[in-house]
């Protein structure tokens, strides 16, 4: 009988395997981020010493499991042990500098300077209750399903609803002065709701504090590489909307309205605000357009008809979609299961996906412009 000898395992093989292990919050290889400090090999036994960014890293078990799984797949490996440490302050600062492209903490945010390749789209409405947040969440999911990298800022500080609608809860990880957004199915999310003791907590702030919070969301959150960053604005043209419009030099605006003429007229004020601060309005979405009891039944226009189209024509921009009333759309928002995610084949979900397709065509990514996508 001839016994085959197991191949010798090398440090280089283990290190190469670990390049496939990503920090689940930073979305970069743990090797690239200098999180692997030592590799010990004794026959088929491999020990990996890695460091976490902070001691209370909420996803440390995920990192450990990923290291074990990847190293165990190498020929000749019988056992994998992972030993964890924590970065010291100097190492964390070096990590933050690496994530910021070699620039220190005083470097202006690429969003604020207009250098970011990410398309920032502010979703606005003239008044509350038109489904602006519902459209934001479902368009974000649709863009993600179309293969784009998406982030969402809940800029409606007083009336935040994105955490519930996307089904995201918890506290963001903070690495020194860098905030790591929470995620749902690859969509990165930040909201003032994540910073408060409870969902029912009221935000009682004046204008300067609001401006500071939103600037923090834009400049101190590690968004990573995104194609689209959607911002759910508060209704109207108050401090928050104006601050964002003035702060982000390359942002575009998507306006949500309902069919009734009064709502469309009020929504036009948001467009006027965008015009005054040189923010381009790229399109209009008409929500709650009609109710159709059955697939072959007549449409019932509960809130009038044509307001969205009239608004789009007045602004000289396309009407990207007419979203019908559907109980499932409301239920999905309440339950943290956006309709595009829960029932992607439904007519309403398909209408929202079409809005996302048209939006991506109107505001293309650099890759799409160059023909790479």
pLDDT per position as a tens digit, 4-19? 455 688 999 999 999 9
| Placement of tokens 């390049």 in the chain | 19
pLDDT per position as a tens digit, 23-82? 988 888 999 999 999 999 998 999 999 999 888 788 889 999 999 999 999 999 999 999
Question: Per 3-state DSSP, what percentage of the chain is helix, strand, and coil (rounded to 5)?
Answer: 35, 20, 40
Task: Say what the pLDDT of residue 240 is.
Answer: 67
Question: Which residues, including other chains, have CB under 8 Å from residue 5's CB and lie 6 or more apart?
Answer: none
pLDDT per position as a tens digit, 91-100? 888 888 888 7
Counted residue by residue, the chain has a size of 373
Contact predicate 286/309, CB 8 Å: yes
Name the nearest CA neighbour of 243 among 204, 203, 208, 195. 208
Question: Cα 321 to the chain's mean position, in Å?
Answer: 22
pLDDT per position as a tens digit, 319-346? 999 999 999 999 999 999 999 999 999 9
Which pTM does this prediction carry?
0.84
User: What CATH fold (topology level) applies to the domain 110-370?
Assistant: Rossmann fold (3.40.50)
**320 backbone dihedrals φ, ψ, rounded to 5°:** -80, -20
| Placement of tokens 């996508």 in the chain | 373
Contact predicate 186/165, CB 8 Å: no
Q: CA-CA distance, 45 to 351, in Å (whole number)?
A: 54
- The radius of gyration computed from the CA coordinates of the chain, to the nearest angstrom, equals 24
Name the nearest CA neighbour of 128 among 284, 266, 31. 266
Residue 90 tokens read as 């100097």
How many Cβ atoms sit within 10 Å of the Cβ of residue 9?
Answer: 22
User: What CATH fold (topology level) applies to the domain 11-99?
Assistant: GMP Synthetase; Chain A, domain 3 (3.30.300)
The region of weakest confidence among 9-13, 216-220, 276-280, 366-370 is 366-370
Name the nearest CA neighbour of 187 among 152, 231, 135, 138. 152
**CA trace torsion 111, 113, 118, 121 (10° rounding):** 70
Q: Which has more confidence, 161 or 219?
A: 161
**168 backbone dihedrals φ, ψ, rounded to 5°:** -120, 135
Domain-wise residue ranges, the chain = 11-99, 110-370
Name the nearest CA neighbour of 255 among 240, 237, 243, 238. 237
Residue 306 tokens read as 């044509």
How many Cβ atoms sit within 10 Å of the Cβ of residue 39?
Answer: 19
Contact predicate 323/285, CB 8 Å: yes
């Amino acid at each position: 009988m001839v016994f085959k000898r197991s191949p010798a395992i090398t440090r280089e093989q283990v290190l190469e395997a670990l390049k496939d292990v990503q920090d689940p919050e930073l979305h970069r290889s743990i090797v690239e981020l200098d999180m692997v400090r030592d590799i010990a090999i004794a026959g088929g036994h491999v020990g990996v010493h890695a460091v976490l960014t902070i001691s209370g890293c909420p996803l440390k078990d995920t990192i450990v499991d990923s290291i074990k799984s990847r190293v165990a797949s190498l020929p000749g490996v019988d056992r994998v042990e992972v030993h964890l440490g924590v970065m010291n302050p100097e190492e964390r600062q070096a990590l933050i500098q690496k994530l910021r492209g070699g620039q220190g903490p005083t470097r202006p945010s690429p969003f604020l300077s207009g250098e970011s390749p990410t398309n920032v789209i502010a979703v606005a409405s003239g008044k509350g209750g038109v489904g602006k947040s519902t459209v934001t969440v479902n368009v974000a999911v649709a863009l993600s399903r179309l293969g784009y990298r998406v982030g969402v800022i809940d800029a409606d500080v007083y009336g935040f609803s994105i955490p519930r609608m996307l089904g995201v809860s918890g506290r963001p990880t903070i690495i020194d002065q860098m905030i790591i957004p929470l995620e749902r199915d690859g969509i990165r999310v930040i909201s003032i709701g994540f910073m408060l003791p409870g969902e029912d907590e009221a935000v009682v702030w004046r204008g300067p504090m609001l401006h500071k919070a939103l600037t923090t969301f834009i400049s101190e959150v590690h968004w990573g590489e995104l194609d689209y960053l959607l911002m759910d604005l508060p209704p109207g043209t108050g401090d928050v909307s104006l601050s964002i419009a003035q702060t982000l030099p390359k942002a575009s605006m998507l306006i949500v309205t309902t069919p009734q003429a009064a709502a469309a007229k009020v929504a036009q004020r948001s467009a006027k605000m965008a015009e005054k601060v040189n923010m381009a309005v790229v399109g209009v979405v008409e929500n709650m357009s009609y109710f159709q009891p059955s697939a072959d039944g007549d449409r019932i226009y509960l809130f009038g008809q044509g307001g969205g189209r009239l608004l789009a024509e007045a602004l000289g921009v396309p009407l990207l979609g007419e979203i019908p009333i559907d109980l499932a759309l409301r239920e999905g928002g309440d339950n943290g299961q956006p309709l595009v995610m829960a029932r992607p084949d439904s007519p309403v979900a398909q209408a929202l996906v079409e809005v996302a397709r048209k939006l991506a065509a109107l505001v293309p990514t650099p890759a799409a412009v160059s023909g790479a996508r």
